[in-house]
């Protein structure tokens, strides 16, 4: 059959990121490539107890079709998470989604027509790029520095692109750089969104995993005129397999999300929602997140110490105060793929920088993940990676 795909389907059959993650999954490869949480910290016993209780006490409701906006019990729990981000709201402002990935997809579907501009950080979350591309987005990348998206460059982009529909940003412990936007830039960003009457899509999967510095308020907490759509998820603080995320926006917009979600999947998995709500009722999530934070901090420190010991001095890396990723820049290297190939030859995997950019890339970059590698293995992996970098740099 000669399939006649819609314009939304990528023309190429090659999935470069899929290929990278597949090789990274080979047991003989030490992978700094994926973005997976540490599985040894999943609270399996507590989830088992929660599932038992839900099935015993609310079995029929948990196994039945449910509300497209999500069960009130979980939306109530989400309000508690939002309060930490400085967002005071009520459950009418919240819809439960099948993970942040669906929140991004529904947002693209709702706001983008072919050729509309999406402003993204340079670099940004690669799967958001794929989603917005599928809705025909034209990307404008805004340069970052260690303090997050550069606001002067953003204003320039807004001036030059009057058909901008969305500014997509991950202000805290950004994927892929691990960088965090300063407080001053956060307030300015919301001001600019109001001035140019553009929506911000604020994605915050990592904000709770902070080991240094003080918690910064979300962009949504500064939003007076409904210019910020906020997204959160349980994937990094509890379990990605539950597939539970949320969108926070004005109730009229939540109604539209609810309609769009109906046509996507009717509603988020009821059983998963009840189990998560029960988990929160019976356990202290803050203690659990503190355990995750301690472990990732330990792993990040080992990785940074090893990088400082082995990588050539010209190589730069970010210094995250939380989250799961480091961003590395190797000066003088034009093709990031060469770094991946040289590392893989030594059975180490990283993600080369290119897919993290909407259009123009920054050469010689790659992302490293530390959350998913046991402490005892990190230094040896970084040492092998340093040999790969030296080879590509011609040292
Ligand atoms: C920035 C960012 N947004 C969204 C997601 C998707 O998360 P979820 O598991 O909630 O769909 C990820 C996953 O890694 C991410 O890094």
Are the C-beta atoms of 382 and 307 separated by less than 8 Å?
A: yes
Q: How far is the CA of 56 from the centre of ligand 1 (A)?
A: 32
Do 205 and 265 belong to one domain?
yes
State the residue range of the domain holding 175: 45-282
Shared domain for 251 and 375, answered yes or no, is no
Q: How confident is the model over 286-310, as pLDDT tens digits?
A: 999 999 999 999 999 999 999 999 9
Six-digit token pair at 176? 């892929």
pLDDT, tens digit (0-9, with 9 covering 90-100), for 258-270: 999 999 999 999 9
Q: Which ligand 1 atom is the nearest neighbour of the CA of 101?
A: 11
**Could you tell me if residue 71 is inside a domain?**
yes
- For β-strands 325-329 and 148-149, DSSP reports them as unpaired
* Domain containing residue 30: CATH number: 3.90.1150.10
pLDDT at 20: 75
Q: Ligand 1, residues 235, 240, 351: which to mutate, most atoms within 8 A of Cβ?
A: 235
How much is the pLDDT for 187?
A: 98
CA nearest ligand 1 atom 7, residue: 100
CA distance 266 to 349: 38
Q: 165-213 pLDDT, tens per residue?
A: 999 999 999 999 999 999 999 999 999 999 999 999 999 999 999 999 9
**pLDDT tens, residue by residue, 346-372:** 999 999 999 999 888 999 999 999 999
Say if residue 128 is in the same domain as residue 265: yes
Sign of the torsion angle spanned by Cα atoms 211, 212, 214, 217: negative
Q: What is the mean pLDDT of residues 254-259?
A: 98
Residue 52 CB neighbours (<10 A): 12
Q: Which pLDDT score is estimated for 176? A: 97
pLDDT of residue 395: 82
pLDDT at 173: 98
Q: How far is CA 224 from CA 92, 187, 229, in A?
A: 17, 11, 12
Task: Give Cβ neighbours of residue 343 (< 8 Å, ≥ 6 apart).
Answer: 349, 350, 384, 385, 388
Report d(CA 191, CA 224) in Å as an integer.
10
With respect to residue 11, please indicate whether it lies within any of the assigned structural domains.
no
**Ligand 1 pocket mutation pick from 205, 229, 236, 242 by most atoms within 8 angstroms of CB:** 205
Q: How many residues does the chain have?
A: 395
Same domain, 51 and 153: yes
- What mean pLDDT value characterizes the chain? 96
Domain total of the chain: 2
Q: Is 150 within the bounds of a domain?
A: yes
Same domain, 257 and 352: no
Query: What ranges in 231-373 are assigned the alpha helix state H?
Result: 251-265, 270-282, 285-310, 336-345
Q: Point out the domain boundary residue: 258, 282, 306.
A: 282
d(C-alpha 364, C-alpha 320), whole Å:
20
- What tokens does 299 get? 């792993």
Is 7 among the domain residues? no
Testing ligand 1's pocket by substitution, the residue of 100, 175, 201, 204 carrying the most ligand atoms inside 8 A of its CB is 100
- Show which of 282, 309, 325 is a domain's final residue: 282
Residue ranges around ligand 1 (CB below 6 Å)? 35, 99-101, 125, 170, 175, 203, 205, 233, 235, 240, 245
Residues 321 and 210: beta-carbon distance below 8 Å: yes
Q: Stretch 50-75: mean pLDDT, rounded?
A: 98
CATH value at residue 169:
3.40.640.10
**Distance from residue 206's CA to the centre of ligand 1 (Å):** 9
Mutate to test the pocket of ligand 1, among 130, 175, 180, 232 (most ligand atoms within 8 A of CB): 175
State in Å: Cα 101 to ligand 1 middle. 6
Closest atom, ligand 1, to C-alpha of 103: 11
Do 54 and 186 belong together in one domain?
Answer: yes
4 inside domain: no
Number of the ligand 1 atom closest to the C-alpha atom of 98: 11
Asked, for residue 10, whether it belongs to a domain, the answer is no
Are residues 86 and 218 part of one domain? Answer: yes
Distance (Å) from CA 250 to ligand 1 centroid:
22
Q: How confident is the model at residue 14 (pLDDT cuts 50, 70, 90)?
A: confident
Residue closest by Cα to atom 14 of ligand 1: 35
Do 68 and 119 belong to one domain?
yes
Task: Return phi, psi of residue 120, to 5°.
Answer: -130, 160
Q: List pLDDT tens digits, range 91-132.
A: 999 999 999 999 999 999 999 999 999 999 999 999 999 999
**pLDDT confidence bin for 134, thresholds 50/70/90:** very high
Q: How confident is the model at residue 37 (pLDDT cuts 50, 70, 90)?
A: very high
Examine the fold and report which residue of 246, 263, 282 is the final residue of a domain before the chain moves on. 282
Ligand 1: centre distance to CA 310 (Å): 31
Q: Whose CA is nearest to atom 16 of ligand 1?
A: 175
Same domain, 31 and 97: no
Domain presence at residue 76: yes
38 shares its domain with 51: no
Domain match, 54 and 103 both: yes
Does residue 346 share a domain with residue 367?
yes
b/e sequence 138-177, b meaning 16+ C-beta within 10 Å: bbbbbebeeebbbbebbbebbeebeebbbbbbbbbbbbbb
> Is position 262 within any domain?
yes
Tens digits of residue pLDDT in 218-229: 999 999 999 999
**Confidence at residue 11, expressed as pLDDT on a 0 to 100 scale:** 82
How far is the C-alpha of 393 from the C-alpha of 227, rounded, in Å?
Answer: 45
pLDDT at site 359:
85
Measured CA to CA in angstroms, residue 357 lies from 34, 147, 300 at distances of 17, 18, 24
Query: What is the structure's pLDDT at 15?
Result: 78
Residue tagged 């079709």 (tokens): 65
């Amino acid at each position: 059959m000669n399939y006649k795909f819609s314009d939304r389907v990528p023309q190429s059959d090659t999935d470069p990121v899929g290929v990278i993650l597949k090789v990274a999954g080979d047991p003989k490869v030490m992978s700094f490539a994926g973005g997976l949480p540490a599985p040894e910290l999943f609270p399996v016993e507590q989830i088992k107890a929660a599932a038992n209780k839900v099935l015993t006490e609310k079995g029929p409701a948990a196994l039945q079709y449910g509300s497209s906006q999500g069960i009130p019990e979980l939306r109530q729990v989400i309000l508690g998470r939002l309060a930490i981000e400085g967002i005071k709201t009520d459950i009418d402002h919240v819809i439960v989604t099948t993970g942040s990935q669906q929140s991004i997809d529904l947002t693209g579907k709702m706001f983008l027509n072919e050729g509309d501009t999406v402003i993204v950080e340079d670099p940004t979350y690669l799967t958001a790029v794929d989603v917005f591309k599928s809705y025909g987005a034209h990307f404008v990348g805004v340069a970052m520095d260690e303090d997050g998206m550069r606001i002067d460059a953003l204003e320039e982009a807004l001036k030059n692109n009057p058909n901008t529909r969305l500014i997509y940003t991950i202000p805290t412990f950004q994927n892929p750089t691990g960088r965090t936007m300063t407080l001053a830039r956060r307030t300015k960003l919301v001001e600019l969104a109001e001035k140019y009457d553009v929506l911000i899509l604020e994605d915050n999967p990592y904000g709770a995993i902070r080991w240094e510095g003080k918690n910064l308020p979300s962009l949504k907490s500064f939003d007076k005129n409904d210019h910020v759509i906020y997204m959160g998820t349980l994937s990094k603080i509890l379990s990605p397999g539950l597939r539970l995320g949320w969108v926070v926006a004005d109730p009229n917009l939540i109604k539209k999300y609810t309609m769009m979600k109906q046509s996507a999947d009717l509603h988020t998995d009821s059983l998963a929602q009840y189990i998560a709500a029960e988990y929160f009722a019976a356990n202290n999530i803050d203690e659990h997140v503190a355990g995750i934070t301690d472990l990732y901090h330990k792993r990040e420190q080992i990785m940074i110490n090893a990088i400082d010991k082995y990588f050539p001095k010209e190589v730069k890396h970010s210094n995250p105060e939380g989250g799961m990723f480091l961003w590395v820049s190797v000066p003088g290297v034009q093709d990031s793929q060469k770094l991946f190939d040289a590392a893989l030859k030594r059975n180490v995997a990283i993600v080369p920088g290119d897919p993290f950019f909407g259009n123009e890339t920054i050469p010689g970059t790659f992302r490293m993940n530390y959350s998913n590698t046991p402490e005892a293995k990190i230094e040896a992996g970084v040492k092998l990676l340093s040999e790969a970098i030296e080879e590509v740099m011609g040292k």
